[in-house]
Amino acid sequence: TAELAGLSALVTGGASGIGLATALLLAERGADVAVLDLDPSGAPAPLRGFTADVSDHDAVHCAVRAAAEALGGIDILVNNAGIGAAGTVEDNPDAQWHRVLDVNVLGVVRTTRSALPYLRASSSAAIVNTCSIAATAGLPQRALYSASKGAVLSLTLAMAADHVREGIRVNCVNPGTVDTPWVGRLLDAAADPAAERAALDARQPTGRLVTAAEVAAAIVYLASPAAGSTTGTALAVDGGMAGL
Ligand code: NAD
């Protein structure tokens, strides 16, 4: 269906995993889609690639403006770029805290700030942030990552309140463990990747990892006019991890 025909979307971290699946689904539904990524070469046509590191204010501002000019505006912003970090508070030095918060939290702030003038001009404006089950679950060995995603969750609620009167909806998704290149890299680093993968599947209430397509479907729903009365919410896509 072409329910998003006439709408323009920008997806950060759109060259891989959840972001790529989201960008492709937005395009399939009829939207004109740009991806902003460190390396956008992983995003095939018809996606339009723009290069920027979300931790670089000037680069983000230029890329968002270039994307908006190419698309003729921005109706949908998906703040998805993010990086991981393992460890307790004893394990991560300050420099790593600064780097992960710079990408995962301020990355959302920067793209949103640059995209807001375009979103305000839209009659169907929506922001969706890729948060995580880590924002609320109390996961072991994920102190820094959890703090970064907790901030994204709070930011989602605050931004929803700030911009609701301007007609801009703001929501987030909380994925569980998703089968993306990110998790592939973690498994490859294990002594026995196949055994580790089986153990990971077994830990999911559903018995398997979440797919990137399932997270993309939730993001696209929240971004679409069908969700016109939904703002300031977090949608879990976690195989039942948080709720069961
Ligand atoms: P991924 O590594 O497959 O893709 C991430 C993309 O973001 C890559 O294309 C990468 O180049 C880009 N990116 C990374 N840092 C960037 C930066 N500084 N500037 C611009 N682009 C940058 O990862 P994924 O699993 O698809 O994760 C996407 C999002 O989903 C992240 O925010 C992550 O925290 C979140 N998430 C993932 C999982 C999971 O299990 N995979 C679970 C919950 C939340």
Span 7-33, pLDDT tens digits:
999 999 999 999 999 999 999 999 999
CATH number of 8-178+211-236: 3.40.50.720
pTM of the model: 0.98
- Say which of 111, 125, 145, 178 is annotated catalytic: 145
Residues 201-225 as b or e (16 or more Cβ within 10 Å = b): eeebeeeebbbbebbbbbbbbbbbe
Active site residue 145: yes
pLDDT > 70 fraction of the chain, expressed in percent and rounded: 100
Asked whether residue 6 carries a pLDDT value surpassing 90, the answer given is: yes
Query: Region 32-41: what's the mean pLDDT?
Result: 98
Question: ipTM of this complex > 0.95?
Answer: yes
> Does ligand 1 lie within 6 Å of residue 139's CB atom?
no
233 phi, psi to nearest 5 deg: -125, 160
Whole-number mean pLDDT of the chain?
A: 97
pLDDT in tens, 202-217: 999 999 999 999 999 9
**Measured from the CA of 133, which atom of ligand 1 is nearest?**
43
Closest residue CA from atom 23 of ligand 1: 182
Q: Could you tell me the pLDDT band of residue 243, with boundaries at 50, 70 and 90?
A: confident
